[in-house]
């Protein structure tokens, strides 16, 4: 009886330890999903696009609930008479933040997000060709921080470097 009693206590302890081990990440994952969901809403932002000259950038960004704990986003910016569109999904998957991004400028990819204070920063690096077939490099990030969103990007071509930073608020 003593052996059976000890074995049952070990099995019970192992079961509680396993359940406790699983409960930690599940709760952490839910908190991470809730962090992303807390940004659902409509945002507007204005910034400055710099390069050969400076231009004002005006943007709208909408975040909406997606499937399977994801948050969808779509945005449009106008600068110098041109319109840039971005679309994608923010998610907490496999114990990490991810953002899938596409744009009408031909850039797309998946960015891995990192916790930064009480927010998350997603960073995307991409290479492509401009309309003339010249090499182009893009870096962009979306920072969700303290209830605000900031989108920053930098494009480098053989002809120069262009950058913008656009803070958004609801």
**Tokens 């932002």 map to which residue?**
45
3 state SS of 149? strand
Bridge partners, 154 (sequence order)? 139, 163
Q: What is the pLDDT along the chain (170 residues), one digit of tens a residue?
A: 433 332 222 222 222 222 223 333 444 589 999 999 999 999 999 999 898 889 999 999 999 999 988 999 999 999 878 888 989 999 998 889 999 888 887 767 788 999 988 899 988 877 777 777 888 888 888 899 988 999 898 888 888 888 999 999 99
* DSSP line for 123-143: EEEEEEE-TTS-EEEEEEEEE
Question: Distance between CA atoms of 105 and 140, rounded to whole angstroms?
Answer: 13
> Among candidates 157, 129, 152, which has minimal Cα distance to 140?
152
Distances in whole angstroms, Cα of residue 82 to Cα of each of 7, 59, 104, 127, 129: 71, 12, 11, 21, 18
Domains with residue ranges and CATH for the chain: 36-169 (2.40.128.20)
pLDDT of residue 28: 53
Q: Enter the DSSP assignment of 170.
A: -
pLDDT of residue 139: 83
* C-alpha dihedral (76, 121, 51, 75), degrees to nearest 10: 0
**Tokens 């569109």 map to which residue?**
85
Bridge partners, 140 (sequence order)? 124, 153
- pTM of the predicted model over 0.85: no
pLDDT of residue 169: 93
């Amino acid at each position: 009886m003593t052996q059976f009693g000890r074995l049952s206590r070990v099995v019970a302890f192992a079961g509680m330890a396993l359940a406790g081990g699983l409960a930690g990440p599940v709760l952490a994952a839910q908190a991470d999903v809730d962090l992303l969901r807390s940004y659902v809403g409509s945002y507007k932002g204005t910034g400055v696009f710099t390069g050969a000259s400076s231009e004002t950038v005006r943007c709208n960004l909408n975040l909406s609930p997606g499937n399977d704990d994801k948050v969808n986003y779509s945005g449009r910016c106008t600068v110098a008479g041109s319109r840039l569109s971005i679309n994608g999904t923010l998610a907490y998957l496999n114990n990490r933040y991810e953002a899938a991004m596409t744009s009408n400028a031909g850039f797309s990819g998946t960015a891995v997000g990192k916790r930064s204070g009480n927010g998350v920063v997603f960073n995307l690096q991409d290479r492509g060709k401009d309309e003339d077939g010249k090499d182009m490099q893009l870096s962009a990030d979306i920072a969700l921080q303290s209830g605000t969103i900031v989108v920053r990007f930098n494009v480098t071509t053989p002809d120069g470097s262009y950058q913008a930073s656009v803070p958004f608020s609801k």
